Amino acid sequence: MSNRVVGILRQNMRRALSEGRLQEAEQILAQLKIEDPLGRETRGFELELYLNANRLTEARALARQLCRLFPESGRIFFLAGKVAYRLKHYEEAEAHFRESQRIYPTWRTQHWLGKALTQAGRFDEAESLLLVAREHTEAALLDIAWLHERRSDLDAALKAYDDYLEAHPGDQYAGEQRVRVKARMLEPETLIEEASALKEMGEEVPASLFPELVEKLFATGETTRAREEIGARMELLDARTAVRLAWTCYKARAYDLACTLFLAHLRPNLANYKYLNTLEAAAARSNRIPLVLQAYDSLLQEAPHLWGRRKSLSRRH
């Protein structure tokens, strides 16, 4: 097959991936594996497809292989960094992004390195990188806002969200984060009073604020009400909110609720070892280890690494 056809396949693959048409991308990849099976771009497309499809266990194994096979590919190391970042392995992500930047410097890599350093708590260097990225994309403002929030500088975080919303007034995510940060700035009693007022009017606290409300209820000793609020909305929570709430419950020592919420969203987090460690700790503290063992048993085929965890956890039962 001619180089021209391979070039067309690569072009179509890039378009399919950028537009989120993953089934089509998988079909194109199958053709590329026939025409150019060992090519660096073909293997890179495979890694990008796994990443975009959230097949993170496969992506991580492939990333390790490709970094060895193509040590001078900035793109491979960049994708490997994104895989590690998604898995919350931030030191590994940092190393890959730094290597990618060494090989082929771009502001996009600096942006992702700044994100990884923020998550690792290295705020000063992260800020300098994100400010560089801000010169190229307004999306960096969202990461700058999170960095300020991690620093507990809520005023600066709020300003970053305001700046982003000025350019993108209809952005739902930024709007929700702005409301959440403003809620964090309120005294616990004020937020609880506002939530009570909404309830009296027959309205619910927005999902983006719900973990904040529960956190403040636990913090002010209103444990019973916190549990009632969670019980009433447990089945209605989206995955992102439920996982945030699980961490909130764990920190508040409501281990039974934390275990229930972590278990409900276990499958997408099978490669997240911090998530698994916390789930098991919550289960041990709430006498729910059999539930976790049962969940692990149902997932062993797709996640063989759970065998060791299951064996270790069963000894604690």
127-143 pLDDT, tens digit each: 999 999 999 999 999 99
The stretch 278-282 carries a mean pLDDT of: 96
pLDDT tier for residue 5 given thresholds of 50, 70 and 90: confident
CA dist., res. 210 & res. 171, Å (int): 20
Q: Identify which has the larger pLDDT, 204 or 94.
A: 94
Which pTM does this prediction carry?
0.78
pLDDT tier for residue 212 given thresholds of 50, 70 and 90: confident
Distance from chain centroid for Cα 187: 28
- 1 pLDDT above the threshold of 60: no
**What CATH number did the domain enclosing 210 receive?**
1.25.40
pLDDT of residue 257: 95
Domain count of the fold of the chain: 3
155-184 pLDDT, tens digit each: 999 999 999 999 999 899 999 899 889 888
For the chain, state the CA radius of gyration: 22
Q: Are residues 197 and 244 in the same domain?
A: yes
Q: Are residues 274 and 247 in the same domain?
A: yes
Q: Are residues 50 and 165 in the same domain?
A: no
pLDDT of residue 141: 98
Q: Are residues 209 and 163 in the same domain?
A: no
Q: Are residues 58 and 143 in the same domain?
A: no
Which of 169, 188, 189 lies closest to 178 in space, CA to CA? 169
Q: Are residues 273 and 232 in the same domain?
A: yes
Domain boundary among 162, 185, 208: 185
Q: Are residues 84 and 119 in the same domain?
A: no
Domain boundary among 105, 137, 154: 105
The structure tokens 């945030």 sit at: 244
Host domain of residue 264: 186-315
255-266 pLDDT, tens digit each: 999 999 999 999
Q: Are residues 190 and 178 in the same domain?
A: no
pLDDT of residue 160: 97
Domain boundary among 166, 185, 204: 185
Q: Are residues 41 and 67 in the same domain?
A: yes
CA dihedral 263→52→111→170, nearest 10 degrees, is -80
DSSP letters along 242-278, please? HHHHHHHHHHTT-HHHHHHHHHHT-GGGTT-HHHHHH
Q: Are residues 208 and 258 in the same domain?
A: yes
**What CATH number did the domain enclosing 120 receive?**
1.25.40.10
pLDDT of residue 227: 94
Q: Are residues 96 and 135 in the same domain?
A: no
pLDDT of residue 77: 98
